[in-house]
Amino acid sequence: KLLQRKQKRALPMPPSPPADPLIGHLRIIPEHDAHLFFHQLSKTYGKIISLRIPRRTLIILNSEKAAVDLLEKRSSIYSDRPTSDVMSLMGFVSNIVLFPYGENFRRHRRLLNQYFHQKKCLSYQRVQVQEARRLLLNLARSPEKFEDHLNRYSAAIILNVAHGHQVQEEDDIYLRIAQDVEYAITHCAPPGSNLVDLFPFLKHMPSWMPGTFAATQARLFRPVVDRMHDYPFEDAKRKLAEGTSLDSLLSSELEKINREGEDYIYSAQDIKGATAIVYIGGVDTTFCTLLIFMLAMVLYPEAQTMAQKELDQLTGGTRLPTFADRKSLPYLEKLVQETYRWHSSVPGGMPHRCMEDDVYEGMFIPKGSIIITNIHAMTRDEDVYKDPHKFDPDRYDRGEPYTVSHFGFGRRICPGRYLADANVWIAIASILTAFRIESLTNDAGKPMYPSEDFESAITSRPKPFECRITPRNNDLLT
């Protein structure tokens, strides 16, 4: 075994750009849009790259094949996560995203699977259809606020099925709490990417030391994060006592805690953590995907026309689509898949951690390496997709494959993917049936196309843009 280990360690690591002494590649890794930088590096150094920063090795995977070969086919050693001190300081303590691979991870995964496995998600279709209709009415009423409406849609479904809460038209307290938490997360930087995470010892330094900014911020934001965990739980307890609960993850779990008490395998803390992460993992990702779809429709009107023709043929223009129609809408399916591929809403993926020394294609991957799944590079891989920057649903007729990377990999694959995919599909199908989405025009009637710019933290969305959203058939909007 010792010999094997020595033989592995004698192999070269994946290629890297030149490094500085001591700090390695720390200086060249940008704080923002690292996925673009890593993609660029892959053009010079190959699709698997290693970077060194103090106390850590990063292995960047820029190809879907490598990610599947390692994170899925060897999932028993690639399903760990690097720790995030910032997120723990902020109060995300019972949060599956941050759990190392082990018993707690498995317990939480089982809990989420109970509520979000493929068949269970069929029971949420009624809520999804109802929220899609409300989305259309909101878009008809104030099309210029399309961002707000898409955000509300994405939140309303999660809050209904996970928290048992029905979003209010005005000033909803759940949305307000979530907004505060979103602000907190974006101001503390994504896990693994800031100084406190790279040098965990910094969090014990006084907060005036340079470089400890994120830790101070994290502590400041703690009450906001605590509220996201505590408020829904207390609210659900109250509703259960009053007999006014809606069926949801939270109400079912509370009933089990009440029934089984201390013997129940999930504690109040577990349930609070699970509902919080379903919100954090599920709302912004869905919202960003829908914004990406809107931008694609403005920039690629022909794809939109094709999808609308297909929808009109099926529905006769007299009704809105339902989930039962999905199989009969092949062009729409390609358009949805192309939305996932064209621009991923989680372009840098979530980091995994390798638990054993490993060898892949003759390259050594040391135990403890952080594995970055560069989904952006995978879905824009020129060896797989012709003109990858182009939004082109017809590419799949030429034999190009649907991407499998947008929901991540292996035992860490997104547990909410069935719910998410249905949220995205019914929203897109409904919007395209009811509205035409177009660029604004200048005084001479020429289209003023928005630029294809994105802003990214963990999730990525188009920079704010304007468009014209006009009803195609008012009868569908009553």
Please tell me whether residue 422 binds ligand HEM under the rule CB under 6 A: no
Of the pair 103, 169, the CB lying nearest ligand HEM is at 103
Residue (of 413, 405, 342, 419) closest to 154 by Cα position: 419
Q: Is 275 in the site for ligand HEM (CB under 6 A)?
A: no
Nearest approach in angstroms of CB 405 to ligand HEM is: 8
Q: How far is the CB of 372 from ligand HEM (least distance, A)?
A: 11
> Could you say which of 190, 232, 349, 450 contacts ligand HEM (CB under 6 A)?
349
Helix (H, G, I), strand (E, B) or coil at 435: strand
Which of 14/281 has CB closer to ligand HEM? 281
Q: Is 62 in the site for ligand HEM (CB under 6 A)?
A: no
Q: Where are the alpha helices (DSSP H) in 316-416?
A: 330-342, 375-379
Q: CB of 119: closest distance to ligand HEM in angstroms?
A: 15
Cβ distance to ligand HEM smaller for residue 407 or 435:
407
Q: Smallest gap, in angstroms, from Cβ of residue 395 to ligand HEM?
A: 20
Residues 417, 359 contacting (CB under 8 angstroms): no
Min CB(410)–ligand HEM separation in Å = 7
In the complex, the smallest distance separating the C-beta of residue 282 from ligand HEM, rounded to whole angstroms, is: 3
DSSP state of 24: B
Dihedrals phi, psi of 462, to nearest 5 degrees: -60, 145
d(CA 448, CA 345): 25
Q: Is 91 left (phi over 0), alpha (psi -120 to 50) or beta?
A: left
Please say which residue, 191 or 282, places its beta carbon nearer to ligand HEM: 282
Strand, coil or helix: what is 10?
Answer: helix
Verify binding: residue 212, ligand HEM, rule CB under 6 A. Answer: no
Nearest residue to 241 via CA among 173, 92, 233, 149? 233
Q: Toward ligand HEM, which CB reaches closer, 177 or 372?
A: 372
CB nearer to ligand HEM: pick between 93 and 477: 93
> Is 212 or 403 the residue whose CB approaches ligand HEM more closely?
403
Give the H/E segment covering residue 462: strand 460-462
Min CB(208)–ligand HEM separation in Å: 34
Detail the residues annotated as belonging to a binding site for heme. Answer: 414
Which tokens go with 295? Answer: 């931008």
Segment lying near ligand HEM (by CB under 6 A), choices 35-43, 343-351, 378-386, 432-440: 343-351
Give the containing element (helix H, strand E) for 364. Answer: strand 363-365
Write out the binding residues for ligand HEM, residues 278-337 only, by CB under 6 A.
278, 281-282, 285-286, 289
Give yes or no for residue 341 binding ligand HEM (CB under 6 A): no
Nearest Cα neighbor of 426 from 151, 139, 184, 130 is 130
266 binds ligand HEM, rule: CB under 6 A: no
Cα 95 from Cα 12, distance rounded (Å): 36
Residue 350 engages ligand HEM in binding (rule: CB under 6 A): yes
Q: Are 248 and 164 in contact (CB under 8 A)?
A: yes
Confirm or reject binding of residue 229 to ligand HEM (CB under 6 A): no
Dihedral of alpha carbons 204, 209, 211, 216, sign: positive
The footprint of ligand HEM on residues 444-463 (CB under 6 A) is none
| List 139, 299, 414, 458, residue binding ligand HEM (CB under 6 A) | 414
Q: 314 or 404, CB closer to ligand HEM?
A: 404
Quick one: angle between helices 301-315 and 268-299, nearest 10? Answer: 110
C-alpha span between 402 and 49 (Å, rounded)? 25
Contact 29, 192 (CB under 8 A): no
Q: Does 409 bind ligand HEM (CB under 6 A)?
A: yes
Q: Which stretch binds ligand HEM (CB under 6 A): 145-153, 322-330, 344-352, 445-453?
A: 344-352
The helix-helix angle for 173-187 and 268-299 (nearest 10°) equals: 80
Q: Does 345 bind ligand HEM (CB under 6 A)?
A: yes
Distance CA 436, CA 468 (A): 8
Report the chain's terminal Cα–Cα distance, integer Å: 71
CB nearer to ligand HEM: give 216 or 344: 344
The contact set with ligand HEM (CB under 6 A) reads 96-97, 109, 116, 277-278, 281-282, 285-286, 289, 345-346, 349-350, 352, 373, 406-409, 412-416, 419-420, 424
